[in-house]
Structure 1
Amino acid sequence: MPHLITFEKKGAIALLTLNRPEKLNALNYATNDRLRALLDSIETDSSIRAVVLTGAGERAFSAGGDIHEFTQSVKAGIDIAVRDFCKRGQTMTARLETFPKPIIAAVNGIAFGGGCEITEAVHLAVASEKALFAKPEINIGIPPTFGGTQRLPRLAGRKRALELLLTGDTFSPKRAYEMGLVNKVVPHDKLLPTAFDLAERIIRHSPLAASRIITAVTRGMNTTIDEGLLIEREQFARMSATDDVHEGLSAWIARRRPEYTGT
């Protein structure tokens, strides 16, 4: 269902837009599956170096999971609800978190529930001044199901995360920035230009090095410091034999701009 998420290629950057504005870009099962399929395609396309993810319309990035669809799964039984809703959502956010190319969320409006969890999972995020965040799952009697009980405490700290998880209160983009959920808050009309500028500043470097950094950080966050340092060494070892390393060193010594090939 390609209409659920639009895909545009702008140079070496892919723009993905959640495209259910009439539903505040709610994440139904087909949307989650479509996002994963697009990421699979982008991963193998060497001409795409980074991804910007945003929402269609003026109101929402994503209001979260599609509650009407989720309700039918709950009525069908626990095993079906866990498989269709929780596991599917966790698989989607894990794919975003571990994706080997940088993903930048451009949060253009409401980012509730699953929309907030996407923001937590991606590598970087820019928020419009019109953005609004919330962890509202407690309002319907459930905990977050796409990773929100795990990623938000790691970003914001246990007490600040628990306040938001247990109250369901909305919070501003300014507070999201202060907690480390987003990298920058900008005027609404500057949102996509800022996200693309950030992507351009990243893709001037070696794509292999970017991938190794993402892997080291993502895997290392859930380990001890000693295990994390081992992961860092492994990622360095994988890079040290590449053409990009030799090009980067040669360019630095010659004081010229490197020309990376991603090999």
Structure 2
Amino acid sequence: MTSHNEPWGENVLVEFDDGIAWVTMNRPEKRNAMNPALNEEMLRVVNALATDDRCGVFVLTGAGESFAAGMDLKEYFRVTDGAPDTVLLSVRRIAEEWQWRRLRDYPKPTIAMVNGWCFGGAFTPMVACDLAIAAQDAVFGLSEINWGILPAGNVTKATIETIGYRNALYYTMTGETFDGRKAAAMGLVNEAVPLERLRDRTRELARTLLGKNQAVLRGAKLAMKRVKYMDWEVSADYLYAKLGEALHLGAAENRGKAMKAFLDDKTFRPGVEHFQDTK
């Protein structure tokens, strides 16, 4: 594993591990609360890793005992009190750009590894990641109601898309917390594991994703996100177009080898193992 500190700064750490980029929000003394400086660094990291060959899978996590405690209220509200609208708009746009605009359509697989506290604004990048694995004892909460503010920055959108209408209303209105087990049961994360297994399980999942044809994987994940808002006819047309795009980008050869292994050589059994192109 190698650690680099290239286009970013002290608020974000990046380690490369055989195709996996471990991206760590690094303000443990503030439970990794996202302030303007961290958001600016995260935007640089997200943009840089999108075209960095060392990053095949992007894993987002937090330093210490927290994933992220949401927005840094002091720096977002008190420090910007009285600032011109242009300053406030710029601060908001930088946060939105990496937290969901870029992550939701990222060209590489993304995994949120929720190791501890995950509150408020942290829901947005967590949900924007393709997949999420949490520690069983991680603590989640939408505490904005207790501060007299709304869950903005698309936190509300992210929450209702993953845990459903009634659950989203309940936790938004009460501000109560829940653990990783409950997060998995509601669909906020894919699964919850003991903390000591969290990094290994995340690595296993990343390795699975690295073993897929990347053109097909990219098309499949983006298609899943798009068709959710389409009717059946538009969805069918869109998916045929995406299939053609994937084949054009190099999936045809991989598909041919997989079909041969299954139909002719009898060496591949879908559902029992995944196809590995051994050249």
Provide the TM-score with structure 2 as the length reference: 0.86
Shift of residue 220 of structure 1? 2.4
Shift of residue 56 of structure 1? 0.6
Q: 1:51 to 1:159 in 2, by over 3 A?
A: same
Is 1:129 aligned to 2:136, yes or no? yes
Once residues 158 and 225 of structure 1 are traced to their aligned partners in structure 2, the CA distance between those partners, rounded to angstroms, is 24
Shift of residue 6 of structure 1? 0.5
Q: Which moved more, 1:154-163 or 1:9-18?
A: 154-163
- What aligned pairs does 1:1-263 form with structure 2 within 5 A after superposition? 1-57=8-64, 59-71=65-77, 72-76=79-83, 80-85=87-92, 87-94=93-100, 95-254=102-261, 255=265, 258-259=276-277
Q: 1:247 to 1:37 in 2, by over 3 A?
A: same
Shift of residue 250 of structure 1? 2.1
Instruction: Tell me the secondary structure at the aligned position of residue 242 of structure 1.
Output: helix
Once residues 56 and 246 of structure 2 are traced to their aligned partners in structure 1, the CA distance between those partners, rounded to angstroms, is 17
Deviations 1:218-262 (A, max 9, x none): 22233334333333222111012233322232243044654389x
Once residues 74 and 35 of structure 2 are traced to their aligned partners in structure 1, the CA distance between those partners, rounded to angstroms, is 9
Once residues 260 and 236 of structure 1 are traced to their aligned partners in structure 2, the CA distance between those partners, rounded to angstroms, is 23
Shift of residue 188 of structure 1? 0.7
- Report which of the two structures shows the higher radius of gyration computed on alpha carbons: 2
Once residues 150 and 244 of structure 1 are traced to their aligned partners in structure 2, the CA distance between those partners, rounded to angstroms, is 34
Higher RCO (C-alpha under 8 Å, 6+ residues apart): 1
User: Aligned partner of 2:94: which letter?
Assistant: R
Shift of residue 126 of structure 1? 0.6
8 Å CA contact 2:35–2:71 kept in 1: the answer is yes
Q: 1:36 to 1:224 in 2, by over 3 A?
A: farther
| Number of residue equivalences | 259
8 Å CA contact 1:74–1:80 kept in 2: the answer is no
Provide the residue aligned with 2:271 in structure 1: none
Once residues 238 and 278 of structure 2 are traced to their aligned partners in structure 1, the CA distance between those partners, rounded to angstroms, is 24
Once residues 35 and 123 of structure 1 are traced to their aligned partners in structure 2, the CA distance between those partners, rounded to angstroms, is 17
Once residues 38 and 260 of structure 1 are traced to their aligned partners in structure 2, the CA distance between those partners, rounded to angstroms, is 32
8 Å CA contact 2:12–2:26 kept in 1: the answer is yes
- Structure 1 unmatched runs, 5+: none
Identity %: 29
Shift of residue 79 of structure 1? 5.6
Q: 1:250 to 1:237 in 2, by over 3 A?
A: same
User: Aligned partner of 1:127: which letter?
Assistant: A
- Structure 2 unmatched runs, 5+: 1-7, 268-274
